[in-house]
Amino acid sequence: MSYSLSRAEFIALIAMLHATVAFSIDSMLPALGAMAMDISPDAPNRVQLVITAFLLGMGGGTLFVGPLADAFGRKSVLIGGALLYIIASAVAATSTDLTAMIVARFVQGIGASGPRVVATAIVRDLYAGRGMVRIMSFVMMVFTLVPAVAPLAGAGLTALGSWRLIFVAFIVFATISSAWLAFRQRETLPRDARRPLRWVLIWAACVEIARHRDVRLAILAQTFCYMMLFNTINLIQPVFDRVFARSAEFPWWFAGMALVSGAGALMNSRLVMRFGMLKLARLSFGAQVLLALALSAVWFSGVPVSVLFWVYLAWQTSMFFQTALTLGNLNALAMEPLGHIAGIAASVIGSVATICGALMAVPFGQTFDGTLGPLLMGALFAACAAFVTLSHLERLRATQT
């Protein structure tokens, strides 16, 4: 068995593993309408829970995957997660009941947390410092193409036969990525470097995080950022469909927005050097408050739907762009004082922010009434709350210096 991966092949493999989550969410978006007609015709908003369930499973799995990978090795945990993902995808593909679909998507999310966490750990095992930053930068450049392509793939599969074919695509995707890892990538964590699985360490990390004021505030802001993102993900297809009657065009517009907003991640490395992580995130949320208010004003003014669509499109792109500017910085702020427990802390922070953000987005999605109201209320609440939280953190830090 050969483990002589070139750098290009290694980057492609890690990017594919990272893409599992984005592919599992974004490819489902254009199929929500068809799914609602098939398995929830009386309550179409409930189909959004197919997205939420996946996010909750992924968030919960994130808490445990890191420690498991440290105890049992990277490859075994990642391949185990892929198998769970494949089984859940098969169940979802044959589900005729929304409840069964939601449960399958939750389990699928748990399985997807393996590639999400372990792929980064593999990079960390093999590279350090600038070398790791360089590899991850290339990975993220490849990864940004996934949100652009995934909805087009989902729409194509739905048009080809049925939305159920999307779950078949998930099975194929996970089979290829896990087999690629199994046969081409060596285990990067030797047995003598593994740490026994001790749940007490997770609890101790949770306690330390809860006691650290700056970390709590950074996680809270990250939660509001996830809430705003997940609220948009839940509602973007219904908005295109029921507000603007552009459901057929949705995958193409989403691809364009994803490509434009991908520049936010590239700009962040430059802007953060000028403003700093905290100030840049605070300014981004402040700008989002103003932009959401501007869209609300246009909406309330009663402009023609054709004009409103272009204003909405610009705002939606800005929201994705803002998320690219803030999420990484907020995670770095939360991790800043926790270097001595970095691995477990990353799992805890990612899990808490993802789960809480997903749950907070649910009420806005479930009250969707065919207007922009629920989307704008959720975005304004999350942006204002994040801005206030980071302003408070900034003031607290200023008093300490």
Same fold, 1-196 and 198-401: yes
Structure tokens at 197: 């699985």
CB under 8 Å, gap of 24 or more: what pairs does 283-287 form? 284/322, 284/325, 284/326, 285/221, 285/225, 285/322, 285/326, 285/383, 285/386, 285/387, 285/390, 286/387, 287/318, 287/322
What pLDDT is stored for residue 121 in this prediction? Answer: 79
CA-CA distance, 253 to 243, in Å (whole number)?
A: 15
Residues in contact with 242: Cβ distance below 8 Å, sequence separation at least 6, in sequence order = 368, 370
The pLDDT confidence band at residue 343, using thresholds 50, 70 and 90, is low
What pLDDT is stored for residue 398 in this prediction? Answer: 82
- For the chain, the structural domain boundaries read 1-196, 198-401
What pLDDT is stored for residue 350 in this prediction? Answer: 83
- In this predicted structure, the answer to whether residue 36 has a pLDDT above a threshold of 70 is yes
Rounded to an integer, the average pLDDT of 131-144 is 66
The tens digit of pLDDT for each residue in 112-129 reads 998 877 887 787 778 766
Report DSSP letters for 44-84, one per residue. GGGGGHHHHHHHHHHHHHHHHHHHHHHHH-HHHHHHHHHHH
The pLDDT confidence band at residue 143, using thresholds 50, 70 and 90, is low
Using a 10 angstrom Cβ sphere, with 0-12 exposed, 13-18 middle and 19 or more buried, the burial of residue 307 is exposed
The tens digit of pLDDT for each residue in 262-301 reads 777 667 667 767 777 788 888 889 999 999 999 999 999 9
For 126, other C-beta atoms within 10 Å of its C-beta total 16
- In this predicted structure, the answer to whether residue 208 has a pLDDT above a threshold of 70 is yes
Polymer length of the chain: 401
The DSSP output letter for 341 is: G
The tens digit of pLDDT for each residue in 151-191 reads 999 999 999 888 999 999 999 999 999 999 888 888 888 88
Check residue 73 and give left, alpha or beta (phi > 0: left; psi -120 to 50: alpha): left
Using a 10 angstrom Cβ sphere, with 0-12 exposed, 13-18 middle and 19 or more buried, the burial of residue 339 is exposed
pTM of the model as a whole: 0.89
What pLDDT is stored for residue 3 in this prediction? Answer: 60
Q: Are 118 and 77 in contact (CB under 8 A)?
A: yes
Measured between alpha carbons, how far is residue 203 from residues 32, 152, 240 in Å? 38, 42, 43
**Among the four given CATH numbers 1.20.1250.20, 3.30.470.20, 1.20.200.10, 3.40.720.10, the one describing domain 198-401:** 1.20.1250.20
Report DSSP letters for 131-176, one per residue. HHHHHHHHHHHHHTTHHHHHHHHHHHHHHHT-THHHHHHHHHHHHH
Residues in contact with 249: Cβ distance below 8 Å, sequence separation at least 6, in sequence order = 240
What pLDDT is stored for residue 131 in this prediction? Answer: 67
Share of the chain above pLDDT 70, in %: 92
More confident residue, 276 or 246: 246
Tally of CA atoms within 13 A in the half-sphere of 60 that contains its CB: 14
CATH topology of domain 1-196: Growth Hormone; Chain: A; (1.20.1250)
- In this predicted structure, the answer to whether residue 134 has a pLDDT above a threshold of 70 is no
